[in-house]
Structure 1
Amino acid sequence: MPLPQDMRFVDLPSFGGPEVMTIGRRPLPVPQDGQVLVRAEAIGVNRPDIAQRQGSYPPPKDASPILGLELSGEIVAVGSSVRGHGVGDKVCGLANGGAYAEYCLLPTGQILPFPKGYDAVKAAALPETFFTVWANLFQMAGLTEGETVLIHGGSSGIGTTAIQLARAFGAEVYATAGSKEKCDACEKLGARRAINYRSEDFAEVIKAETGDGVDIILDMIGAAYFERNIASLARDGCLSIIAFLGGALAEKVNLSPIMVKRLTVTGSTMRPRTAEEKRAIRDDLLSEVWPLLEAGTVAPVIHKVFAFEEVVEAHRLLEEGSHVGKVMLRVG
């Protein structure tokens, strides 16, 4: 069956609230060397999408200006030199942009097969959070069996993924969340103790629970938590920062504990990483994590699935923050 000449996509005529997004039409993208064109079946909605919509997270110059960083679906065309992937393959992948559309280009180094038994929605819920957690918690911070880790935002898509992966690889997990229901969800996923940040000081709880502190902290808050994060780390600990929901500018911070406790402070964002770096993450996921997904040891937590046309409502839900896990769009 021939491909259509154009497709529906989520247009962003101006920056602003969710209501600025509309459904538009534009020509299908054409796969270039090393790319595949995927007909979308499901799409993940993520915090970076909100930041881009608001104008604070511009796409790289060589990326699609269309919103969206992850999707699943069927390959319908391949570019030159593509090997090992063909038309008809079901894949999910990390996009450099452009996922909020009926068709999207994916580099072959950023696609993965559906785990056995997975449908399109579950598969589309994997790439963004699993790439991010693996890169920051395992590759950069070096989490290993027997270590302790504190995961902020434990009920988010990133948090629910990090809790499960850390437990699956033998770590003891603590998490923060903003309600009893969210804390209960974190503990059900494997956290030894979930801390309600609205009623408890996580630094005090971590000290009481561990004595010396945790080995690693995965943080998406930033400046507002910086000093308490440093206080919550054990000697030779590592703070891995992946977002700045609590601000990026920390003033009058006492840095001496970093030296005294020999701490490492690191951080990254996924989008600027090179194709080779993303391929290395993909390869690790395929060998180390996909077997866990197929065995049911780890699974994406999906809060709600919206129709593609309901993207405004999906963004509102994500911004409101009442969800546990992933917010998804279904196409078609």
Structure 2
Amino acid sequence: MLNLSFLQMKQQEEPSEGNLTELREFVLLGFADIPHLQWFLFGLFLVIYIIILMGNGTIFLITKLDATLQTPMYYFLANFSFLEICYVSVTIPRMLVNLGTQRRRISLVACATQMYFVLMLGGTECFLLAVMAYDRYVAICDPLHYSLVMNQKMCMKLVAGSWISGIPVQIGQTFQIFSLSFCRSNHINHFFCDIPPILKLACGDTFVNEMLVYIVAMLFVMGPFLLILCSYTKIMCTIFKLPSTTNRAKAFSTCSSHLMVVVLFYGSGMITYLTPKTSHSSGNGKMLSLFYTIVTPMFNPMIYSLRNKDVIMALRKFLGK
């Protein structure tokens, strides 16, 4: 009965073939294929959203208020936590509305706006992770010049560059995606407006568009990833040269949290954007997207706080007050 109502909803919302090139709205199917779990998913994602807001908000506050955390590493962590709050706020509220009301329609402008912010904030996250890796590289490989290299002015420039650099490129990429004609359907088999599921709806040959997506992904995903890889290669070489086992363990512990976040975020992101469109299945695409848009932001505060004594001490003082 539930599956029958889902098919009826799809048939009612499916536009006629002649009007498909004049689309003014899409339908975000999300998790409509499991109608009996809609309210369970609503509750689950609402709890996750609250956890993300509270966790990253707490990290942001304590790194700003605690005097012992006024260092470049925690300045970058504060920006990263604020970024995660922005990132999830682009996708989860819309998904909660869709789950709660079962009204899955989204206008073309709203869809393009959501895609732009997801891409822009995702690119910012890639650059910020690279900046944090560079900070650890300087701290471990060149500690004597750390305060000179990572001064306040340099930190502000690196953060501003991470936030601003992707704006013009992602505006252009969003425009070229939504300048296509859509003649297959207006149903996006996803829980937010992402590039791979929208390209599947486009008319004709999308080879040029896919190549542009790959080029931008190489620039914003592989570029920072290679910088992170180079930084950690040099960091590991330096750590293994340290004479004391205690010093090696301490140096590695300052990097391990960041490495865990990099693996979670980059692993799912690269599979999503750097694999051919034909190899994507809708189910796998949604699961991978859940990792880099929801799971990673949820675990970031836990990863950084549970493995960091300074953050735990600052958190205890903050909760004590």
With structure 2 as the length reference, what TM-score do the two structures score? 0.26
Higher relative contact order (CA 8 A, sep 6+): 2
Q: Compare the two structures and name the one with the higher helix fraction.
A: 2
Larger Cα-atom Rg: 2
With structure 1 as the length reference, what TM-score do the two structures score? 0.25
